[in-house]
Amino acid sequence: MKKIRIAQIGTGHTHAGACFNTLRKRSDLFDIVGVAEPEPERECRLQRETYRGFPVYSADEILRLDDLDAVTVETDEVYLTKYALEAAERGLHVHMDKPGGLDQAEFEKLIETVKRKKTVLHLGYMYRYNPYVQEIIKQVRNGEFGDVFSVEAQMGGHVDLEIREWLSTLPGGMMFFLGCHLIDLLLLIRGKPDEIVSFNRCTGHDGLDCLDYGMAVLTYPNGISFAKSNASEIGGFTRRQLVVTGTKKTVELKPFETLVPEGGQVTDRREYLTEEWFEKGVASRTAPFDRYESMMESFAMMAAGEKENPFTPDYELELYKTIMKCCKAE
């Protein structure tokens, strides 16, 4: 496979540094042209070791390069769709971090553009590439869970005060920031809901007035599912979990990620197969993996035409609309 000539626009997203480090790590797949920081991010990151030594351009200079294949868009959330759209209009493949900008009409235009240009649009929902998540989705679709009637997803943590203050700039606060990962999982496993009820709240912790506690309930004909994300939750990172319940079995992933000394993360799973009250379940753990490496490897293969993107533009649009409903920002 030929290397993908790629540049990064933005350093302000929380995944930006990890994304760029993955491009560096996978030099067998990517030829990094340079990086741009086109908007005033919360802090300038170009002097960090991650980006040191790479050419710095303006976003317009990057988008005018004749031999560029793709870009990663890693700006602060508010600017994501803006630069993804500019890149798509120039026929570039785009990896854009989640969940997209704040303007639904602009996101809809992006979807229309990538469909017209027949280019790849790849969103940075890293849990899609978790080995156990992929296994769950496969098993749900081939009937191993029976009829799924409940998905419970939680993704919290006690984040820095600065980030919690910044949440006030986002529709739905924490639901937009991290809850979007969970809505993606609910939609992939359960499909489009009949109704969405949002319970986004402010805890008032540290005197803040942001929506740092996000929760949304999605209803279906045979049950309900929910996503919960809390930015002020002590111990929340180790309680990040996904529970999928069907008529044949229940599977719980918890913790979703644990850092291991040899590098990377692992995910712990417990599978319940009987109806016994005190069923202990069968425990297992993934081999260590890098949450970004398989994601960016897949993007490289898609950009090279060697793999079809299973997350279609129409799916990404449905997901975005669902997220905005969960944020009560239609």
Nearest Cα residue to 21 out of 320, 329, 295: 295
pTM to 2 decimal places: 0.96
pLDDT tens string 1-17: 899 999 999 999 999 99
Query: Could you tell me the CATH superfamily of domain 131-285?
Result: Dihydrodipicolinate Reductase; domain 2 (3.30.360.10)
Q: What is the structure's pLDDT at 48? A: 82
Q: Euclidean distance between the first and final Cα of the chain, in Å?
A: 42
Q: Which two tokens stand for residue 17?
A: 């540094």
Q: Which of 10-14, 123-127, 300-304, 318-322 has the weakest average pLDDT?
A: 10-14
**pLDDT (tens digit per residue) in 269-292:** 999 999 999 999 999 999 999 999
Say whether 131-285 and 4-126+293-311 share the same fold: no
> Would you state the pLDDT for residue 269?
98
43 pLDDT more than 70: no
Residue 41 has pLDDT above 80, yes or no: no
Please give the pLDDT value at position 42. Answer: 57
Report the C-alpha gap between 248 and 56 in whole angstroms. 54
Structure tokens at 217: 């309930």
Sign of CA dihedral 11, 16, 18, 21: negative
Determine the pLDDT at residue 216: 98
What's the gap between Cα 219 and its chain centre?
22
Return the CATH fold of 4-126+293-311.
Rossmann fold (3.40.50)
Q: For 134-193, how does the pLDDT look when each residue is reduced to its tens digit (9 = 90+)?
A: 999 999 999 999 999 999 999 999 999 999 999 999 999 999 999 999 999 999 999 999
Residues 144-156: pLDDT tens digits? 999 999 999 999 9
Tell me the mean pLDDT in the region 94-121. Answer: 98
In the chain, what are the domain boundaries?
A: 4-126+293-311, 131-285
Looking at residue 143, its pLDDT comes to: 98
Read off the pLDDT of residues 56-93 as tens digits, 9 standing for 90 and up.
Answer: 999 999 999 999 999 999 999 999 999 999 999 999 99
